[in-house]
Amino acid sequence: MASVSSASAPVAPGWRHVYSGKVRDLYVPADTAQDARPAALLVVASDRVSAFDHVLEPGIHGKGELLTELSRWWFHQLRTVPNHLVAVREGLPPVPAELEARSMVVKSLEMFPVECVVRGYLSGSGWKEYQASESVCGIALPAGLHDGDRLPQPIYTPAYKAPLGEHDENISFERTVELIGLSDATALRELSLEIYERASAIAEARGVILADTKFEFGRDPETGAITLADEVLTSDSSRYWDAAAYDSGERTASFDKQIVRNWLAANWDQVGPPPTLPQEIVERTAARYAELLQRLTA
Ligand code: ATP
Ligand code: MG
């Protein structure tokens, strides 16, 4: 978890701002007592974009709304899996009209401190690790794989969701058992792999490869049910590739913020503060986010 200054968090009357991550601002109903579990959370997705653990300037206009729409669409596709969306908002403060499209009102869950990562393809940090060890997060893989290759089967590579200010850390499945117990650890792994399979089939039918993704789950304090939380299958939490480009050998036609990462890698030494993104990079990234939403949901 990284916290940014809350100065940029929009004002939502009736709600109290409690936390800002790199991208999203969280609120509880203003009448929530200090240590009480809130009746719900308001999660507002900003247009902020982060890369290499830095929040960049300027934001990508429309990003918060596009990613919220995508998340909602996926929750609906996966509606047989319990999720944190609150359907009936009776008794809760209203969401300001200008924030509605970038907001989700969700149940306040007891979150598991585990980021449930599933990888169907070798890429990013997985590819780096494979080159050094022929394995990813302790899972041995066949020799001779290349950057971007499809894995023989999707693998579950969890990470520990570190407390504020610390870096998330890749952990073994056994470590998740120590953290949350065998039964919940197994349930998170099974659910994550199942959701990945379902989502990648849906994406593939629309010409999009879901290379990898990260889920977060929590327990519903009322029902005890393990519940899908956070954002789901957005281009901030997932790597999406264009299937046609992939098949023709171009393995970088990605729908996420790869354009931003590539530009930064070429124009910044990663020592001082990151440079301001050029307008052209902002526009191309915004167009890519819009295209992904269109491809998946049209
Ligand atoms: P980072 O900037 O590294 O992403 P972050 O993950 O803390 O930090 P956000 O993703 O912007 O920042 O914030 C969302 C936070 O809300 C996360 O900590 C996530 O675990 C938590 N969260 C998501 N859904 C729920 C829920 N239903 N109940 C309680 N907490 C939730
Ligand atoms: Mg997060």
2 lines ligand 1 (CB under 6 A): yes
Rounded Cα distance, 107 and 83, in Å: 9
CA 146 to centroid of ligand 1, rounded, Å: 33
Atom of ligand 1 nearest to the CA of 168: 3
**Residue bearing the CA closest to ligand 1, atom 23:** 230
Tell how far CA 18 is from the center of its chain.
20
Atom of ligand 1 nearest to the CA of 24: 11
**DSSP-assigned beta bridge partners for residue 44:** 25, 103
Q: Which of 5, 43, 231 to mutate to test the pocket of ligand 1 (most atoms within 8 A of CB)?
A: 43
Per DSSP, the three-state class of 173 is: helix
Check pLDDT > 70 for residue 7. no
Rounded (10°) CA dihedral 246, 292, 267, 64: -160
Check pLDDT > 80 for residue 218. yes
108 lines ligand 1 (CB under 6 A): yes
106 lines ligand 1 (CB under 6 A): yes
**Residue bearing the CA closest to ligand 1, atom 6:** 1
Q: Could you tell me the maximum CA-CA distance found in the chain, to the nearest angstrom?
A: 58
Tens of pLDDT, residue by residue over 226-256, are 999 999 999 999 999 999 999 999 887 789 8
216 lines ligand 1 (CB under 6 A): yes
**CATH level 3 topology of 110-269+287-297:** D-amino Acid Aminotransferase; Chain A, domain 1 (3.30.470)
**DSSP-assigned beta bridge partners for residue 167:** none
pLDDT at 168: 84
Atom of ligand 1 nearest to the CA of 20: 11
Mean pLDDT value of segment 55-77:
97
Sketch the domain layout of the chain as residue ranges. Answer: 6-106, 110-269+287-297
The encoded tokens of residue 172 equal: 């073994």
193 lines ligand 1 (CB under 6 A): no
Check pLDDT > 80 for residue 279. yes
Tens of pLDDT, residue by residue over 78-93, are 999 999 999 999 999 9
Rounded Cα distance, 75 and 95, in Å: 20
Closest ligand to C-alpha of residue 48 is: 1
23 lines ligand 1 (CB under 6 A): yes
ipTM of the complex model: 0.96
For all residues of the chain together, what is the average pLDDT?
95
Q: Residue 276's CB: how many other CB atoms inside 10 A?
A: 11
State the pLDDT confidence band at 257, using cuts at 50, 70 and 90: confident
**What's phi and psi for 270, nearest 5 deg?**
65, 25
Sign of the torsion formed by the C-alpha atoms of 136, 140, 144 and 148: negative
The encoded tokens of residue 52 equal: 């290499």
**If you classify domain 6-106 with CATH, what class do you get?**
alpha beta
180 lines ligand 1 (CB under 6 A): no
